[in-house]
Amino acid sequence: MADPIDALKSLVNSEGWQEFCRYSKSQWSDEFVLSRIENAVNGIPAGDELSQTETTRNLLASRNAIMRLLAWPEDEIRRLSANQTPSGHLSPVDRFKRAVGR
């Protein structure tokens, strides 16, 4: 089984992943989300502030979820690296935690 850190590093360094991230970020850029919010809010009848607020929240929550997903590989590399000893091997405690699923 491949080392998870090496596998994630290969992923984030691949041209395909980088292109996927560029495309995803362009589709969920601040400008894109603001235009979607404007279009959505304009389609809701005036005076229906609850629907306007809910639509705005849903679009922003979607953007945040996508950005977290795109950041996950690098965040996971940092998290896994922090659990490694200087030699690059898991400490006995961390090996035990991984073995028992914690």
What is the DSSP annotation of the chain?
---HHHHHHHHHHSHHHHHHHHHHHHHT-HHHHHHHHHHHHHTSPTT-HHHHHHHHHHHHHHHHHHHHHHHHHHHHHHHHHHTB-TTSSB-HHHHHHHHTT-
Per-residue pLDDT, 41: 81
Q: What is the pLDDT of residues 6-38, one digit of tens each?
A: 999 999 999 999 999 999 999 999 998 899 888
d(CA 52, CA 65): 20
pLDDT higher for 47 or 54? 54
Cβ(36)–Cβ(59) below 8 Å: yes
Task: Give the model's pLDDT for residue 92.
Answer: 73
Q: Which residue has the higher pLDDT, 74 or 51?
A: 74
Please give the structure tokens belonging to residue 79: 């998290």
Q: How confident is the model over 76-82, as a mean pLDDT?
A: 89
Domains of the chain, residue spans: 4-99
Percent of the chain with pLDDT over 70: 91
pLDDT confidence band for 53 (50 / 70 / 90): confident
